[in-house]
Each structure stands twice: as C-alpha cells, then as structure tokens.
A and B are shown apart, each in its own frame.
Chain A
Amino acid sequence: MRPLLITALLTIGLMQPAPARTLEIEVYGMTCAFCVDSLQRTFNKNEEVEKVDVSLEQKKVRLETRGDLPSVETIRQMILDAGFTPIKITELPDSSD
C-alpha cells in the first residue's frame, strides 16, 4: 500500500506545472518603436511566454513565462534573431511570496 501511495504522490507532483517566472533582460541596441514591436512579436510567438513588456528607456525586456521554458539560451537566441544584443538575464523574485 505504501509504495503505491508514494508512486501516486510522485505522479501528482510531476504533473504539477512548473511555477511561472518573471525574467528581466537587459538588451542593447534597441533604438525605436519598431525595436519594441520586433521583440514583442518575437516573444509573443512563443507559447510559454505569457506577457512581454519592453522599456526603451531602461533598455529592458520583462517576460512572464508559464514555467521553466523558454530556456535562457533560447531567450538569448530570440533576442539575437530580433537584431539586438542580450546583456544580462535576471530572474525576479515571485511577488506572490
């Protein structure tokens, strides 16, 4: 009975979605409204990204993701493909804690 219970608990634990993350990325090379639009279009194509905010003033992109994805490497590549230079990626503490 006990192994069965442990297996059930583990299965339920694995089925839980990874917690949402908020990432802030410092991006160099953004100059105008089109840069903002490019980055928003790029990240909105990714199903794991729930929200994208871009600050031309602070040279930052803030992403809210559903879970562990996209990875840091994927995010870097997406920014490079949009034509900019990713500098630093910081995971912000969960404000709901």
Chain B
Amino acid sequence: MGLRSLVALPVDKGGSVVRFTLESTDDANTDYLITNAAYGLSADQTLLFGLPYRIEPAGSDRTGDLSVLYRHIGWREDNWDGTNRLGLLIGALLPSQTESDSAAQAGLVYTHFKNRNEIDSDLVYRFGNDDRLDSARYDISWQYRLHPDKRPAWGLVPELNSVLELNGRWLEDEDVVHQVTVGLQWIHPRLVLEGGVVRDISNSSESRVLLSTRFHF
C-alpha cells in the first residue's frame, strides 16, 4: 500500500487497521495529523475512514472533513507470484463545520503485486454539494521490496520497501497539481513505520514531509 492513499490496503474479514500520519509543510508552516481507520466487513468489502486535524497553526476549525468510503473488490485474480485486484469506491465527505458542504465521492482502486513489486493506483472524484466545488485525486504508487532479497522458507523477518509515487490533486476551476512522493516503509507483521517527502511538480515547488505508523489487529 502506498504512502498517500489508504484505499488499496488489504483488510481481512473482521480485521482492523489504524494509521496516524503527521504531514508537515515547511513553506506554509502547517502540520496536520491525519487519522485513518479501516475495517473489513468481508474479504471483499471494507469500510475506510479518514479525518485530518490541523496541529499548526492553531485557531478554530482545526478538524477537517471526515471521509467515509466503502470499498468493494469486484475482480480478483490471485496467482502463485502475486495478485491483481480491482475495487470500486463509493462514499461521502462529511464536513465537521456546519457552514461547510458535504460531497459524494466515487472512484476505482487497482492493485498489482508480483514478486518484489507492488503497484497501487486509485482515482477518486468528489461531487460537491451546494457551494462545495468538485475535486478529484489520483495516486499511482510503486513499492519495491529492498530487504530481504529472499524471504525465509517459513515465518517472517521485517521487510523494507522503497516507495515512489505520482500523485495528483484537482479542484474545480483550477489546474491539476501533480506531485511526486519518495519514501520508505518498514513492515513488521502488525506494525508499519513509513515516511516520505512530497514535492509539487506543477504549480509550485512546495514540499512536505510525511511520517506515519499503522497498526493491524
């Protein structure tokens, strides 16, 4: 699963995942804590939640919109050396402030995994209600297992992945902002530590740092 998007995350029936991400932008001097959670209704059905909270600058309206998504894996092809999965996303963006408007959201997520490589891609479109503008995002993430070269015959050792992503964010009446994300993931069976640097490559050269941890239980 990539750094910027949680929607490709595999979750088993009855399984849960919680992720905390600290996103820091030096230029704008803003820090966000983004909390994500996922719950597996079945092997093919997952509920995904996301809620950003602004740490800096302080002030009012620090809690962002709650994203609720239902994911249905509609097509799956598991094979000896990997898997291919295509899922449908549907849900809503619920404002935490009464003066904001909600949005409906829908999209697709595709995962390809083979040997040491995983590619996750997703596209989500948000249809704004009332005064809220439409928006969209895409994420294409390539993860490559750096360590170990060869996995043990039985059992596990912690794994280290490199992550390279191309991301895009679009708001109605504005141009798409394309971004590149480079990072690392350290994967333990129930815990992941990951971090990366995001750099805008279209409108500005703004960069930000991501640090995140997630727990599976």
Binding site for B on A (CB under 8 A): 28-29, 31-38, 40-42, 53-59, 62, 80-85
Contact = CB atoms under 8 A, between A and B. Distances in A.
Contacts of B190: 34, 37
B154 A53 contact: yes
B155 A41 contact: no
A1 to B, nearest CB: 54
B97 interface: no
B215 to A, nearest CB: 11
B147 interface: no
Contacts of B82: 31
Interface string B10-38: 11111100000000000000000000000
Interface stretch (B63-71, B73-81, B126-134, B169-177): B73-81
A33 to B, nearest CB: 5
Given A29-B78, A34-B10, A55-B154, 4 more contacts: A32-B187, A54-B154, A80-B43, A85-B76
Contacts, number: 80
B78 A56 contact: no
Contacts of B101: none
| Chain B interface, DSSP helix/strand/loop, else mixed | loop
Contacts of B187: 32-34
Given A33-B188, A33-B189, A81 B12 contact: yes
A85 B78 contact: yes
Interface of B: 10-15, 40, 42-44, 76, 78-80, 82-83, 113, 118, 150-156, 158-159, 187-190, 216
B14 to A, nearest CB: 8
Nearest to A56: B151
Contacts of A41: 12, 15
B155 A53 contact: yes
23 contacts: A28-B79, A31-B113, A32-B118, A32-B159, A33-B159, A33-B189, A34-B190, A35-B10, A36-B156, A37-B190, A38-B15, A41-B12, A41-B15, A53-B155, A55-B153, A58-B153, A81-B12, A81-B14, A81-B43, A82-B13, A83-B43, A84-B43, A85-B76
Question: Lowest 3 CB-CB distances: which A-B pairs, in order?
Answer: A29-B78, A28-B78, A85-B78
Given A33-B187, A81-B43, A38 B156 contact: no
Nearest to A42: B12
- Name, among B12, B152, B153, B159, the residue most crowded by chain A CB atoms within 10 Å (CB to CB): B12
A28 B190 CA distance: 21
A89 to B, nearest CB: 16
Contacts of B78: 28-29, 84-85
A77 to B, nearest CB: 10
Given A80-B43, A81-B42, A56 B156 contact: yes
